[in-house]
């Protein structure tokens, strides 16, 4: 495993591109996922999307320190959502900033695991927020695009995604 460089917003337009569907569930993908998890933990983040390490593939890793542990999600799609919550979030590609964003309270996401097997995750709270945030990254969307209010001065930067 290896720590990869996290792309910072404004430094590289890869964060603004649509990531491609993953079709090969091979060793190369597994190395990418291993590296993404290591990079996320090293940065004290709760989520990381492949474009954030310069790879335009629809792959994300998430760990919000709940019962799910480390989640690896390939080709994720939100198939159901309900409710709405405004809360603060941060992003490893927008260092030292926090902002409030409206997100669904609950989401159901389908995708695949690292072997291509189907995965379905029902989530609420921070995990739902994180799933939405990471899936946005796969479509070139950064949370600051949807930010209601910059709360950097009120909430210390933490839980980057």
The 79-108 contact track toward Ni ion, x by CB under 5 A, reads ------------x-----------------
From the centroid of its chain, how far is CA 73?
Answer: 10
DSSP letters, 12-59, are: -GGGGSPPBPP---SHHHHHHHHHHHHHHHHTT-SEEEGGGGT--BSE
> Does the footprint of Ni ion cover residue 39 (CB under 5 A)?
no
The 142-161 contact track toward Ni ion, x by CB under 5 A, reads -------------------x
Phi, psi torsion values for 160, nearest 5 degrees: -65, 150
**Cβ nearer to Ni ion, comparing 88 with 91:** 91
Q: Which residue has the tokens 């994180």?
A: 130
Cα distance between residue 107 and residue 95, in whole Å? 26
**Residue of this chain nearest to Ni ion (CB atom):** 91
Nearest distance, CB of residue 26 and Ni ion, angstroms: 26
Q: Is 23 a residue of the active site?
A: no
Give the catalytic positions in this structure.
Answer: 134
Residues that bind Ni ion (CB under 5 A): 91, 161
């Amino acid at each position: 495993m290896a720590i990869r460089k996290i792309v910072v917003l404004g430094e590289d337009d890869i964060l603004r591109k649509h990531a491609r569907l993953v079709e090969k569930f091979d060793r190369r993908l597994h190395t990418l996922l291993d590296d993404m998890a290591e990079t996320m933990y090293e940065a004290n983040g709760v989520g990381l999307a492949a474009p954030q390490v310069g790879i335009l593939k629809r792959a994300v890793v998430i760990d919000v320190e709940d019962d799910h542990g480390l989640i690896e999600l390939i080709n994720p799609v939100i198939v159901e959502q309900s409710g709405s919550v405004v809360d603060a979030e941060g992003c490893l590609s927008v260092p030292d900033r926090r902002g409030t964003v409206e997100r669904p309270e609950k989401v159901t996401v389908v995708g695949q695991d690292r072997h291509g097997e189907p995965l379905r995750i029902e989530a609420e709270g921070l995990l739902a927020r994180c799933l939405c945030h990471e899936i946005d990254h796969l479509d070139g969307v950064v949370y600051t695009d949807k930010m209601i209010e910059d709360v950097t001065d009120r909430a210390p930067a933490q839980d980057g995604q």
